[in-house]
Amino acid sequence: MDVRFDAVSVQYSSGHRALESVSVTVPSGQFCVLLGRSGAGKSTFLRTVNGLVKPTAGVVTVGGVPATGSGLITLRRHIAMVHQVFALVGRATVAHNILSGAAHEMSFWRMLLSIPSSRHRARVCAVSQAVGLDPEMLSHRVDQLSGGQQQRVGIARAILLNPEVILVDEPISNLDPETAHLMLTLLKAHAVGTGATVICGLHQPELARQFADRIIGLDAGRVVADCAADHFGKVNADALYRNHVSHILAAA
Amino acid sequence: MSLSRNPYPKSYSIQWVAIIIAGLLLLGFTGHRLEMGRLFAASSKETVSLVDLVSRFFPPQLAERRMASKIANFDASNLPMFAHIEHEVKTEERIDPKTLAIVRTQSRQAVLVEPFGYAGRVAVKILETFEIAVWGTILSLFLGLPLALLGARSLISPPLIAGAFRAVTALLRALPELISALLLVAVYGFGPLAGVLALGLHGAGFLGKFFAEEIENADKGSQEALVAIGASRFAVWRLAILPQVLPPYVGYTFYSLDRNVRMATVIGLVGAGGIGQELKGRFDMYEYSRVGTILIAIFVVVILLDIVSARLRRTLV
């Protein structure tokens, strides 16, 4: 599924303008990284794709379907999300958290009594293996795991049903560099394997160049850079972050 | 030289000093009204009568003695367990209506002695108190859960309906068990049922409030993660909220049970069954050695319960 932004603006009720007339098309199967400093609009960009944030102007369409109104719930079932602070249920088991990625497919009683179908059991085992979680970990409580293991659970939940679009919101900002690299490798491998479109917010230009097909630079809600990852040079990265540094220096 | 004002905030403002002084004055006034000074009067007559009262509880009565002649279908060859028969000589004094002289008659009477007869009765009453507490807690769970689900902001109900359910919950909580027991005894008569209802209603108010607060304070991230993939409201509740709130729910329920056992002894005083009713009856009959047994039993049970429930909550939550 492709993701199309057509002159999308978002203004929050606080008055903050998070996106300013963004027009971008991410074609199906692309691994696209959003680069930009905190507050540049990366999260808002991602959250307008699955309708968690409603655009104040413009239209977002995913696979030709507008991400608002009555079709939204159905559309969301094709769009997975990996969250910055994992957004897992700490008191529940790893298996429970991964399984919740199939929430819309489970019947009332299976969900209420927590008895997944054999197909869902098999999928949970398969994806947990794919992200490198030991099978014995499935019965552990999530809040007993390290940050890296928790994000593995988050990724497993996202890819459980082979979504066509995966939104990734700064998945590694709480992880050490090695684990961060591993997480992106896992995501990339899955995306390549299933042909999923990935839009991933990141802070690190080097990682972006390494994993992305394409890099979109955001600054103060505007697209300030948009090119293939190979063409995204040090000059672009400096331009994205320099303003920020000079602001801080000016204030001090 | 200009003295710029230090921006560090003042430790105390004049308002707070005034409020504290006014509060102390008010306490002094009410303390005088309540004769709090009597607490500090050493060797007062209150101290003497307290010691006197407590000394009458000892020794606590464990045995039950009943005159055999007053037991229906008494069969001396088939006594209850551990029981034996004692004979005592009883002297009766009465006034002869004709001569107006005091006449003494002596008679030998068989007395059935059950060495742990009264202790057994207290144990049965303690058990009944437990049963009242357990059923009261079950009732408050069945009432409190739906009240919490409907009263929690941000779950099912629109704000106005949620507010109405929270008001009902607050009303139930505002009704003290002792008072509702007093009223319910008038409706259902003496006995445990009134106690179960009184505990259940108040407990529903308690659990309803804290269950709803747990739902409202549940981590929003995992809920949003489910909304983001198109999950239903039921799925959000079952998959994201329930696993978060279940351990504290178990904790609150155990606390409620713990409290209900203590309250069940108290509401017995107004006739709602259990050990409290026994206590009230014996106290009013001046049978202080029986009161002693009852009080010791209550203390032991409450302390044991405190230990067990604290340990259970630690392991569960």
More confident residue, A229 or A199: A199
CB atoms within 10 A of CB B24: 10
Q: Does B88 touch chain A (CB under 8 A)?
A: no
Q: Which segment of A32-46, B9-23, B97-111 scores lowest on mean pLDDT? A: B97-111
Candidate from B222, B234, B238 with C-beta closest to A87? B222
Of the candidates A81, A87, A96, which has its C-beta nearest B243's C-beta?
A: A96
The confidence band for B6, taking pLDDT boundaries of 50, 70 and 90, is confident
Closest-CA distance, A219 to chain B, in angstroms, reads: 25
Compare all CA atoms of chain B with the CA of A96 and give the residue at the minimum distance. B239
Question: How many whole angstroms separate alpha carbon A45 and alpha carbon A50?
Answer: 10
Going by pLDDT thresholds of 50, 70 and 90, the confidence category of residue B3 is: low
End-to-end Cα spacing for chain A = 47
Which of A29-33, B24-28, B73-77, B92-96 is predicted with the least confidence, judged by mean pLDDT? B73-77
pLDDT for A87: 92
Whether the pTM exceeds 0.90: the reply is no
Sort out which chain A residues have CB atoms less than 8 A from B243's CB and list them. 89, 91-92, 96
Q: Which residues of A touch B248 (CB under 8 A)?
A: none
Strands A31-35 and A214-219: parallel
Q: How far is A223 from chain B (nearest CA, A)?
A: 25
The predicted-structure confidence for B173-228, as pLDDT tens digits, reads as follows 999 999 999 999 999 999 899 999 999 999 999 999 999 999 999 999 999 999 99
d(CA A77, nearest CA chain B) in Å: 5
Residue A162 touches chain B, beta carbons under 8 Å: no
Helices (H), chain B: 14-33, 45-56, 117-151, 159-174, 177-188, 192-217, 220-228, 233-235, 242-267, 274-284, 288-316
Whole-number pLDDT of residue B238:
93
On chain B, the residues whose CB falls within 8 A of the CB of A72 are 230
Q: Check residue A246 and give its pLDDT.
A: 59
CB B137 within 8 A of CB B124: no
The mean pLDDT of B256-285, rounded to a whole number, is: 91
Using the predicted structure, report yes or no on whether residue B79 has a pLDDT greater than 80: no
Interface touch B221/A104, C-beta < 8 Å: no
User: What pLDDT sits at residue B94?
Assistant: 85
Cα–Cα distance measured from residue B172 to residue B188, given in angstroms and rounded to the nearest whole number: 19
Confidence of residue B2 (pLDDT cuts 50, 70, 90): low
CB contact under 8 A, B232 and A103: yes
A116 contacts in B (CB within 8 Å)?
A: none
pLDDT-derived band of residue B27, with 50, 70 and 90 as boundaries?
very high
Per CB-CB distance under 8 Å, the chain A contacts of B227 are 52
Contact check, Cβ <8 Å, A87/B221: yes
Q: Taking CB atoms and an 8 Å limit, are A111 and B226 in contact across chains?
A: no
| Per-residue pLDDT at A243 | 60
- Read off the pLDDT band of A230 (50, 70, 90): confident
A-B contacts (CB, under 8 Å): 75
Residue B237 has pLDDT above 90, yes or no: yes
Distance from CA of A116 to the nearest CA of B (A): 12
Task: Give the gap in angstroms from C-alpha A51 to the nearest C-alpha of chain B.
Answer: 8
Separation of alpha carbons A8 and A199, rounded Å: 16
Say if residue A108's pLDDT is above 80: yes
- Do B229 and A103 make contact, defined as CB atoms within 8 angstroms? yes
Mutate to test the interface with A, among B215, B219, B222 (most CBs of A within 10 A): B222
Quick one: pLDDT band at residue A56, thresholds 50, 70, 90? very high
Strand order in the sheet with A165-169: A79-82, A165-169, A197-202, A31-35, A214-219, A222-228
**Tens digit of each residue's pLDDT (9 = 90 or more) over B105-158:** 888 888 888 888 888 999 999 999 999 999 999 999 999 999 999 999 878 888
pLDDT at A167: 94
Asked whether the predicted pLDDT for residue B1 surpasses 60, the reply is no
Q: Do B222 and A108 touch (CB under 8 A)?
A: no
> What letter would DSSP give residue A93?
B
Label residue B203 exposed, middle or buried (CB < 10 Å: 0-12, 13-18, 19+).
buried
Q: State the Cα–Cα distance between residues A151 and A80, nearest whole angstrom.
A: 14
Is A92 an 8 Å CB contact of chain B? yes
Give A167-191 pLDDT, tens digit per residue: 999 888 777 888 888 888 989 999 9
- Closest chain B residue by Cα to residue A46: B228
Q: Which of residues 233-272 of B touch A (CB under 8 A)?
A: 234-235, 238-240, 243-244, 246-247
Query: Average pLDDT, stretch B14-36?
Result: 93
Of A77, A87, A112, the CB nearest to B238: A112
**Cβ pair A74:B240 closer than 8 A:** no
Check pLDDT > 70 for residue A235.
no
How far is the alpha carbon of A126 from chain B, nearest alpha carbon, in Å?
A: 20
Cβ <8 Å between B239 and A111: yes
